[in-house]
Amino acid sequence: MTDATDAPLSFAPFSPDDVEWRVTEGPVAYPDSLAEMEARGAVIRAGEARELVWLLEHPPLFTAGTSADPAELFNPQGFPVYEAGRGGRYTYHGPGQRVGYVLLDLDKRGRDVRRFVHALEGWVIAALAELGVEAWAVPERIGIWTNDAQGREAKIGAIGVRVRRWVTTHGFAINVAPKLSDFSGIVPCGISDLPVTSLEAIGLANVGGKLDLALKNKFADFLGFLAS
């Protein structure tokens, strides 16, 4: 794993359907997170561990999904680039971004990957609404969208998943207060004509803990959507 320590949640434990919640403080190396997801996914599939929601942060890096186009990677910053194994194209991760890895067993929650992705989108949108941020998904585009400080439609969150033997890995990333210029090293998710924004950039500072709590509060609704 990593030297980062798993911090206890600051709110009451809540595990619908026996899903474990984990919040890791400090940056987690990307290869370590991939190894952890791979290992945990295998034991979830075997019925030997609980499903998992893991909230964390990475050091600055780019990830390449299975549809990544090398022409969309510029990387003047020299950040490491990792093959992610998830769907989608290039994505940035770094400090100030809340990453959520969601390891669920769709074998018992309905074998519908598209519904799972829509549920993830709805969960992030509902959590942002708790912070007073109107956000939405767009069918022909990847990600979560809002209006930036200039009133332009801008990307505030990314969605990317992998499903292996009906166990999900990867998940979402929400821009809380990252360095937005770091996104210039790629064409984020293949979309070049719309900007990227963050909660900080639209006037919400120091909301990381509130976002985690909002995600927790809306988790039961997310599972309910999968079950409906």
Tens-digit pLDDT profile for residues 140-196 = 888 999 999 999 999 999 999 999 999 999 999 999 999 999 999 999 888 889 999
CA distances to 17, 103, 108 from 51, in Å:
9, 6, 11
Task: Name the residue with tokens 């209006």.
Answer: 147
Instruction: Give residue limits of the domains in the chain.
Output: 5-227
CB neighbour burial string for 117-153, b if at least 16 within 10 angstroms, e if fewer: bbbbbbbbbbbbeeeebebebeeeebbbbbbbeeeee
Question: In this model, does residue 34 exceed pLDDT 70?
Answer: yes
At residue 17, the pLDDT reads 60
> What's the pLDDT tens digit per position in 91-128?
999 999 999 999 999 999 999 999 999 999 999 999 99
The pair of three-digit structure tokens given for residue 20, joined into one six-digit string: 């474990």
* 38-63 pLDDT per residue, tens: 999 999 999 999 999 999 999 999 99
Note the pLDDT of residue 5. Answer: 39
CATH pick for 5-227 out of 3.40.1390.30, 3.30.930.10, 3.20.20.150, 2.30.30.100 = 3.30.930.10
Residue 140 confidence (pLDDT)? 86
Among candidate residues 200, 149, 158, the one with its CA nearest the CA of residue 177: 200
Q: Which of 183, 171, 151 is nearest to 19 (CA)?
A: 171
Q: Which positions are catalytic?
A: 189
Report, in this order, helix, strand and coil percent for the chain, each rounded to 5. 30, 30, 40
Q: For strand 97-103 and strand 153-164, is the pairing parallel, antiparallel, or unpaired? A: unpaired
In the prediction, which pLDDT does 31 show? 98
pLDDT average, residue stretch 204-212: 93
Q: What is the pLDDT confidence band of residue 228, given thresholds at 50, 70 and 90?
A: confident
Q: What does the pLDDT read at residue 4?
A: 40
pLDDT at 112: 96
